[in-house]
Structure formats: structure tokens, C-alpha cells
A and B are shown apart, each in its own frame.
Chain A
């Protein structure tokens, strides 16, 4: 199980980064659909805010692939996807019919039902959580996981 989790955790930041980069760029290039969604959701019409969210997603994606503080970056990514999932749950329960514009005005993305977006975001959040749990800082001397301590200390050289 631990091995499987590690197998999932290793590429997880890159998967999260890819998803965030895709949706971020879509929001920057085509913010109108997400803006319409926000109007229905919270009566807020702001293309600038949608673009700002897009830039934030892009910055988070860059952080994730940079390798610096990867566990922290994964935690922030997981929190972001958790937030997105909650927003979709709320939109679904409030009868918001507009597509979320998460991927711009892509017709394929618009065809994804609310439940699909909830599942997708929850999956990414879970992926980020696994990454946080398995991508521990180096020098972890946890006595319960000696094999991990050994593998995460490559500098223990002669």
C-alpha cells in the first residue's frame, strides 16, 4: 500500500501542475464563461478576477514543477482543488446552470456535468493529499518507516 501511494505521489505534483496550467491558461485566454458562472453563483461580474484566478493557477503550477517545497505546493494545490470542488457542490445545489468556464469556452468542458467537475476536483484534491503525505521533507528519520528514511537520504554517502 505504501509503495502504491508513493507510486501515485511521485507524479502527482506534475499531474496537478498540468491540470492547473491548462485551466489557468484557459481562464486567462477566455475568461468570459467563468465570469458568467460567477455572475450566476455570486452576482459578481469581473473578467479581471477570473484572469487573476487563472494567473494564480498558473503560478501554482510553476511552483509545483519547480520542485521547491513540493509538499507545501502540493498542499496548496490540494486545497485549491478542494475549494473548486466545494464551489461546484454549491453551484449544483443552488441551481446554477451556466457552465463553470473552468476550461474556457471549450465545448467538451462545457458538456461536463456538475457532478463530473465535482468528482474531477475531488480526485485532484485527493491526489494532492497523497502527494503531501508521501513527499515528506528529506532527513525524515521516522522510525516507523525505515525504508523511506533510507531512500530519502541519498546524501548519506561516505
Chain B
């Protein structure tokens, strides 16, 4: 009887023996492996979700721009160019386009993030237009790269008349711009385009593009670029020169 009790006692105690150092390290290795598997999956899912949200925001904003234009005799919202340099389109004076769209559409318009603290993810939707009001439009709402040119595309065809901004200059300025034109603006119907560079977590660098008809797409900027040179290389000029001529003819502008 005593021996039987001792056996039971030993079994109970042995089950509560605890872990040895090796066993503990094995447990930690398993934990590490699980983390290593989970993080990339989580990252991919969240990045895809963010991309979907960004593209949706861009599509809606593009529609808002053109709706606003329809409400204002075809004028386009000033995208941030100082009035002195912007003889076309709607004079927003010192207001930024978020302010203008907010006045027109209120919270129905997509929410935007300030570019002040972090210029890259400007479409994450973490700041409402109401919150954005009153901020400095010249700085906070300007997307650092290519922003002025996305504005120019918005105002097409009027923009081509601007003496300071002519199509060849635009081509010379940005290879990204030229590639987008080749791929997506071969039709005069697509005369408006909004884009932003979306920095993917890690080495990826995507450009998200919204078109006048509300369609959106995303592409890998690095894969689309002919070279890292800036301004455009001679090779790129050869490739895009005919496109510029086509576009000029399609838009019917004399510049």
C-alpha cells in the first residue's frame, strides 16, 4: 500500500518536474519558428489591405476632383501650386486641395494623411479632412515627388497652355511620368491621373495610380523605370517622344 502510494506520488511529482534547459530552449526555438512564419504572412495580408484601401481612396478622390470640376465650370482644384505660378484652374489662394474638397463634399470625401511628418504614405487615411483644415497647404499637403506634375495632368488639357509647363519639360522631368503616359494615357479620355508613390515595407516601391474614370492600378516603379537617371535619359526620350507627339495631337493643344 505504501509502495503503491509512493508510485503514485512519484508519477505526480515527475509530471511536475518542470523543464530542463534544453527543453526550454526547444520551446523557444519553436516560438521563434512560429514568429518567423507568422510575420511575413501578416505583413503580406496587411500590405494588401492597405493597398486596397489606398486605391479606393484614390479612386474616390479622383471622382471628387472631377465632380468638383463639373460643379465649377470645368475649373480644376489647385493641387498646391502657388497662385502666382498657376494661372489656370481654380485659384484656391492659400488653401490646399483637401480644404477645397472638404468644403465641397465634407466627410464623404476620403480621409487623407498629412505629409508633414512622413511624406511617403500620404494615403493611409489616418487624418480626416476636417482635421486637415487650417493646416499649411503649401507644405503639408504637397507630395514631394512629382506632385506638381500630377496636378498638371489633372488640369489637362488646360495645363498644356501654361507657358511654364510644357509637355516636353514634363517628359524630361520624370521617367515615371513618361511610363505612366505610355501605359495608361494613350487614350485622350484618360486625361487626368493622380498617383502617389507607395513605399512597401521592405525593398518594394509601388506607384498607385488613379485615372479620370476612377480606375486604379498599382505597379512596381523600379521595374517600370528605364534607369535611375534623372532627368530622363536619351534612350527614354527616343522611346517617349512619339508618345508625346501622339498625346499632343490627341489633346489638340498648341504649345
A binding-site residues for B, Cβ under 8 Å: 5, 36, 39-45, 71, 75, 78-79, 82-83, 85-87, 89-90, 94-96, 125, 129-130, 132-137, 139-142
In contact, A79 and B27 (Cβ under 8 angstroms): yes
Cβ contact within 8 Å between B28 and A125? yes
* B89 CB–A CB distance under 8 Å: no
Taking Cβ atoms with an 8 Å cutoff, the residues of B that contact A are: 10, 13, 16-21, 23-25, 27-28, 31-32, 35-36, 39-40, 42-43, 46-47, 49-50, 118, 121, 124, 126, 200-203
User: Once bound together, how far apart are the Cα atoms of A87 and B39, in whole Å?
Assistant: 8
Q: A132 and B46: CB pair below 8 A?
A: no
Closest approach, in angstroms, between the C-beta of A131 and any C-beta of chain B?
9
A137 pairs with B32, CB closer than 8 A: no
A41 cross-chain contacts in B, Cβ below 8 A: 39, 43, 201
Chain A residues whose C-beta falls within 8 Å of the C-beta of B21 in the assembled complex:
5, 129-130, 132-134
Q: A5-B21, A132-B18 are in contact. Are A42 and B47 (CB under 8 A)?
A: yes
Whether the Cβ atoms of B202 and A94 lie closer than 8 Å is yes
Asked if B18 contacts A83 (CB within 8 A), the reply is no
Asked if A78 contacts B24 (CB within 8 A), the reply is yes
Cα of A141 to Cα of B27 in the assembled complex, Å: 23
Evaluate contact between B201 and A86: CB separation under 8 angstroms. no
Residues in B whose Cβ lies below 8 Å from that of A43 = 43, 46-47, 49-50, 200-201
Report chain A residues within 8 Å CB of B27: 75, 79
- B202:A44 contact, CB within 8 angstroms: no
Contact A86 to B35, CB < 8 A, known contacts A39-B121, A78-B28: yes
A27 to chain B, nearest CB (A): 18
B23 proximity list for chain A (CB < 8 A)? 133
Known: A43-B201, A89-B36, A94-B203. 6 other contacts (CB 8 A): A36-B118, A42-B46, A75-B19, A79-B27, A83-B31, A95-B202
